[in-house]
Structure 1
Amino acid sequence: MNASNASLFRFNKYLYRYWKLQAAVITLGLIITPLVLLNPYLAKLIIDTAYTNKDLWLFFIIIFMGAGIFILAAFLNSLSSYLVCRIRLGIHFDLSRDLSNHIHSLALDFFHKKSSGEYLYRVTGDVPAVSAFLSNAIPQIITLFTRLISILIIVFCLNRRLALFALFLAPLNYLYHHLLGRWLKEITHRLIDKTQDILGYISELFSHMYLVKAFDGGDYETKRFLENLTKKIYCDKKNSELTTISNFTASVINKIISIIIVLYGGYLVFKGIMTLGNLAAIMIYLAQLIAVVDSIGRFYETVAISSVSCQYLAEVIGIKPQIINRPDARNYPILLGAIEFRNVSFGYQENKPVFINITFSIKEASKIALVGSSGCGKTTLLALILRLYELNDGTVLIDGVDIKDMTLQSLRAQIGIALQEPFLWNDSIKNNILYSKEDASMLEVMQAARLAEADDFIMALPKGYDTIIGENAYKISEGQKQRIAIARALIKRPKILILDEAMSSLDSETEDKIIENIKSAFRDSTIIVVSHRLSAVRKMELAYFLKNPLEIQLATPEEFIEKDSKYRELFASQIEKAPESAAIFKTE
């Protein structure tokens, strides 16, 4: 059994919750089967009894009986379809929930390895496909094979020769579907890949629309889109061609089989071996038999196509989370905010270390600036405090406790962070600020906004805190976005506050006000500021200078300016050099 087909069985557990509905669908299918099989026998009675004996009343009775059976079967079929729909929607919900939970449990670097189009298709394409298959697979298998066996038994009872002859011809239909299923599986793989490429491209295009407009790249992007679309349409075309060939070939094979059976059956009637009524009933039964065999073949095609989505989903769900809570992890409260890196080594790739055996500590309630050249690992260092990545070696401690001994929820809930990219939702300003503390009051929201110097511009908006800021917060400026992101970090009153280039789009005056507000309101919290602005660094008590993967130095900002040439180079454009032995800060 290959990986694709094996993955089908992995998702059977989602059927257990709906076993009662599944049982009801199977029961309905078993009830419908004899109703459907009864009609051909009624046709035999009409020809051999009612017609032969010229019995008009018997003819009407049989006709009305057949109509009643047809209506009852149609009703039961509709009820069965409704129950299957309920199962499908339930499985869709359960599978989507589990996929979402699993994706959120994966480490941050997982999302750097795949395109957004792949994640979008897992949710919008693969989950519905797997849900539809699971909801109907077992009832369909049981119903089809029950009808197949029942029809064969009935036809054998009516005429053994014709039954054996039909049984010999019927597999021709299935063999064709088996071969076609393999081709469809390959096409489906390519079709899904191309659809993922288009979804990823469109997602990226809309997020970069400002750039497209600024560079007048509409024609170029249209060309790129059409190139991707052409590749997908080619796969769609191949799929359509195979489907058309399948339908035509299946129809021809079915007709040929029917004609051969009619010829043989007619020969038996002329020889007096069986009656015309028997032949009519057998022909209807054999038409049903051919339809069942055709349905089994098409079910195999569905299995082949669905197995592709099952395989893709299984690959994602099969990825084990790298960052998880230890069995003995606890909800430790961060009381002081002291941070220690002890012999920490880390790298995103093997043999490409960002840090090598680095050791330093940040005292509780410190107000420090983390500085270094671009790409030296400042943001990575902060991510390690949040345990967004797993260390290669060493330990990170908060208040003397290894962060691995803390639950991820308690660790991250007590650390506030605002980044250079605000990452705001297409929602109201209030809800964006509440994202880090959903149960906060409106007073807390406004207090956080005031500390971030955001309250004034928010209140000036027509709907104030209820203003919807749009996708990527396009309705407000970059500086306003950053202030909302800072308010979001402040509202939970964290013991450790991280501002990673969080004020890069603000003017110096506003930046100074925010820093003073935070230092005043969070005297007992540890504050870490990453900034390329000397004015922001100067307002911190200490500067931690990340010089290389092996070394981090600390001193006051003034001491670094006076004594460290590499440090001065970082802020060269912001420093006016007097005599070589001294440095004078520029006036803001």
Structure 2
Amino acid sequence: MNKNATQSVKREGSPHLTRFYYPLDQAVEKPFNWKQMLRLLEYLKPYAKNLLPASILAMLISTIVRLVVPILIGKVAIDQAIENKDTSLLAYLIIGIAILYIFSYFANMFRIKWVNILGQRVIYDLRRKLFSHVQRLSHNFFDKRSAGSILVRILNDVNSLQELFTNGIINLLMDIIMLVGIIVILFVLSPPLALAVLVILPIMFIISTKLRRNIRRSWQDVRIQKSRLNSHLNESMQGIRITQSFAQEKENTEFFNGVNGDNYEMERIAMRKSSYFGPFVEMSNAIGTVILITYGAHLILVGSIDVGTFVSFAFYLGMFWEPISRLGQIYNQLLVAMASSERIFEFLDEQPNVHEKENAKEFKDMKGHIEFDKVQFSYNEDRIALHEISLEMKQGQTVALVGHTGSGKSTIANLISRFYDPTAGSVKIDGNDLREMKLSSLRENISVVLQDTFIFSGSIKENIRFGRPSATDQEVIEAAKIVGADEFIQRLSKGYETEVEERGNILSAGERQLLSFARALLANPKILILDEATASIDTEAEVKIQQALRKLLKGRTAIMIAHRLSTIREADNIIVLEHGKILEQGSHLDLMKRKGEYYHLVKSQFDMLDAL
């Protein structure tokens, strides 16, 4: 499959239903990226003066003890104390070894404690940075990705690095030091026997090298499949009402079984390939032991080595394959970490399409005068959303944008909030090109109310206060009263302290919309954008809101996007759009007199009402 192609997965038993995944979720073949690994290790820098050196010191103490004890047993206990029947030396040696093991015990205890603290803090830092970065990315980033795939990277991919940071790095250092120390000691004790015992290493290295690419690709596939599984779960939970409404539970379960089965298969393949290393190490250990006994016994018989040296060799050989085996496990951790870090750094390297200049200016006192100067915009190369639009929205005006779906109404609103930048031309507020201004300074002065409003888990009060966290309880209540939300809030069991479920499911669509009005108005914006904001409000509630808006919009610039034309009669300026172009604009009375596109839109809506 071409890496830029979109992969599709069909549901079993239903040839017509297909799920598509973005090309961003394709595995790629790359060599082990040491530069990327060093970048990952940079997250240890904040702890380079305390936790990291303390963990390394504790690791060194326990490693040195393990390297010293076999020498003491072989060369001192056997070759000197036992050979010469020196019980005093043997007693001192036993006490000395016991003391060394006590030091090693406490060193290991603190090492485990400190590396776990270190690992948890690094994971915390990495997840915080990733979440903070993703929040600042442009809407274009979220247009291309499902919520589930983003969640996988922030949760699962970051979690998969935990083992590397809590154990992997320190264990890697410990095992390398252990191996180097053992090899040096073996060659010091007996070079011929050391060469004979370690002859298996080159063969082992060649075989393990051949496994690396397959193992790494398998763990990449696992991460990608987990992303797809999570995406489907997220989509299924959010769309459960639609699934049940169309009685598609069986179809949905069949598709989930397919994705879940793929996930199981990818995990099985990755674990199977990763498990090859352990048995090979055991086999190597067995071969080394046979060589040691055969050739070591021969060297003892010819007088080349002492029995103590042979015993030390046996200790070191047993210790040698332990770090070799652990290095195989650590290598698997590195492969998993590389697969995950690639996906994490892909997000961290993603730059917003909407860039903020280093010397960007702030709005000191925004008035709300908006200008579009020959603005052209397209979401992709195939479709132009706006064709050289030029328009003016004066300070304090209420401007309505009307037109058929896809005419460019929401695009204009998105450009005012600078969720996107125009492809050509400029958008200005108070004469300032928005590309020259700070995003936070711009958006702090704008409130947006959408048709599909989002209510967070938490209390009613917290949801309203989201518009301005510093607002007092009294200001929250006043905002709710102005938009007519106070009446239904007071009927709730705990009033403003009532906890709402995810997305506000305990509230009706109209009640959620009223809360979003209160939230927007509490922010005290200079510019208010209402994108189909009254679509879910019943007629009685709409009358209340219209009365409140007359007071609240005074002195503010308001942009109203509406299909229900009855809600925009009192707008100062109505702009009629069609296929990204302005057909006509003016007040309701002016446009009705012209009998143009707006007149026909109004007439068709009233004809539909009369027919009902």
Same fold, TM-score > 0.5, yes or no: yes
Q: For residue 70 of structure 1, report the CA deviation from its aligned partner.
A: 2.4
Preserved contact between residue 479 and residue 505 of structure 1 (Cα < 8 Å): yes
Q: Please tell me the residue identity of whatever aligns with 1:406.
A: M
- Structure 2 residue matching 1:360: 3-state secondary structure: strand
* Matching residue of 1:71: 102
Q: Is residue 2:123 matched to residue 1:119?
A: no
The Cα offsets for residues 31-54 of structure 1, whole Å up to 9 and x where unpaired, read as 222200122123313333444445
5+ residue gaps, structure 2, are: 1-29
Preserved contact between residue 337 and residue 525 of structure 1 (Cα < 8 Å): yes
Q: Please tell me the residue identity of whatever aligns with 1:38.
A: V
CA distance in 1 between partners of 2:94 and 2:202 (Å): 34
**Map 1:61-460 → 2, pairs under 5 A:** 61-134=92-165, 139-460=170-491
CA distance in 2 between partners of 1:216 and 1:575 (Å): 36
Q: For residue 135 of structure 1, report the CA deviation from its aligned partner.
A: 5.7
* Matching residue of 1:36: 66
Preserved contact between residue 173 and residue 293 of structure 1 (Cα < 8 Å): no
* Matching residue of 2:45: 16
* Matching residue of 2:55: 25
Alpha-carbon spacing, 1:217–1:67, altered in 2? closer, same or farther (3 Å) = farther
- Structure 1 residue matching 2:500: 3-state secondary structure: coil
* Matching residue of 1:582: none
Alpha-carbon spacing, 1:535–1:158, altered in 2? closer, same or farther (3 Å) = same
CA distance in 2 between partners of 1:228 and 1:351 (Å): 32
- Structure 2 residue matching 1:361: 3-state secondary structure: strand
CA distance in 2 between partners of 1:3 and 1:42 (Å): 41
Preserved contact between residue 452 and residue 487 of structure 1 (Cα < 8 Å): yes
- Structure 2 residue matching 1:242: 3-state secondary structure: helix
- Structure 2 residue matching 1:347: 3-state secondary structure: strand
CA distance in 2 between partners of 1:50 and 1:418 (Å): 87
With normalisation by structure 1, the TM-score equals 0.93
Q: Please tell me the residue identity of whatever aligns with 1:492.
A: A
Preserved contact between residue 138 and residue 354 of structure 2 (Cα < 8 Å): yes
The Cα offsets for residues 68-113 of structure 1, whole Å up to 9 and x where unpaired, read as 3223212211211221112212211221222122212211011111
Preserved contact between residue 449 and residue 520 of structure 2 (Cα < 8 Å): yes
CA distance in 2 between partners of 1:179 and 1:39 (Å): 36
Preserved contact between residue 229 and residue 260 of structure 2 (Cα < 8 Å): yes
Preserved contact between residue 396 and residue 554 of structure 2 (Cα < 8 Å): yes
* Matching residue of 1:7: 36
Q: Please tell me the residue identity of whatever aligns with 2:422.
A: L
Q: For residue 145 of structure 1, report the CA deviation from its aligned partner.
A: 2.9
> 324-333 vs 339-348, which deviates more?
324-333
With normalisation by structure 2, the TM-score equals 0.90
CA distance in 1 between partners of 2:548 and 2:476 (Å): 15
Q: Please tell me the residue identity of whatever aligns with 1:293.
A: I
Q: For residue 328 of structure 1, report the CA deviation from its aligned partner.
A: 2.6
Q: For residue 193 of structure 1, report the CA deviation from its aligned partner.
A: 0.6
Preserved contact between residue 181 and residue 305 of structure 1 (Cα < 8 Å): no
Q: Please tell me the residue identity of whatever aligns with 1:564.
A: K
- Structure 1 residue matching 2:379: 3-state secondary structure: coil
Alpha-carbon spacing, 1:401–1:587, altered in 2? closer, same or farther (3 Å) = farther
Preserved contact between residue 526 and residue 557 of structure 2 (Cα < 8 Å): yes
Alpha-carbon spacing, 1:412–1:13, altered in 2? closer, same or farther (3 Å) = same
CA RMSD of aligned residues (A): 2.3
Q: Please tell me the residue identity of whatever aligns with 2:432.
A: V
* Matching residue of 1:493: 524
> 333-342 vs 506-515, which deviates more?
333-342
> 149-158 vs 199-208, which deviates more?
149-158
Preserved contact between residue 274 and residue 332 of structure 2 (Cα < 8 Å): no
> 274-283 vs 58-67, which deviates more?
58-67
The Cα offsets for residues 6-33 of structure 1, whole Å up to 9 and x where unpaired, read as 3212233222111122222222222222
* Matching residue of 1:580: none
Q: Please tell me the residue identity of whatever aligns with 2:260.
A: L
Q: Please tell me the residue identity of whatever aligns with 1:42.
A: L
> 38-47 vs 217-226, which deviates more?
38-47
Preserved contact between residue 171 and residue 293 of structure 1 (Cα < 8 Å): no
Preserved contact between residue 407 and residue 581 of structure 2 (Cα < 8 Å): no
Alpha-carbon spacing, 1:165–1:576, altered in 2? closer, same or farther (3 Å) = closer
Preserved contact between residue 200 and residue 284 of structure 2 (Cα < 8 Å): no
Q: Please tell me the residue identity of whatever aligns with 1:437.
A: R
> 460-469 vs 532-541, which deviates more?
532-541
Q: For residue 56 of structure 1, report the CA deviation from its aligned partner.
A: 5.0
CA distance in 2 between partners of 1:383 and 1:418 (Å): 12
CA distance in 1 between partners of 2:598 and 2:417 (Å): 27
Preserved contact between residue 196 and residue 291 of structure 2 (Cα < 8 Å): no
The Cα offsets for residues 486-526 of structure 1, whole Å up to 9 and x where unpaired, read as 11111011111111111111112211220221111331111
> 159-168 vs 65-74, which deviates more?
65-74
The Cα offsets for residues 220-243 of structure 1, whole Å up to 9 and x where unpaired, read as 221111111000000111122223
Alpha-carbon spacing, 1:166–1:526, altered in 2? closer, same or farther (3 Å) = same
Q: For residue 547 of structure 1, report the CA deviation from its aligned partner.
A: 2.5
Preserved contact between residue 37 and residue 338 of structure 2 (Cα < 8 Å): yes
Q: For residue 153 of structure 1, report the CA deviation from its aligned partner.
A: 2.4
Preserved contact between residue 399 and residue 575 of structure 2 (Cα < 8 Å): yes
Q: Please tell me the residue identity of whatever aligns with 2:553.
A: F
> 364-373 vs 454-463, which deviates more?
364-373
5+ residue gaps, structure 1, are: 578-584
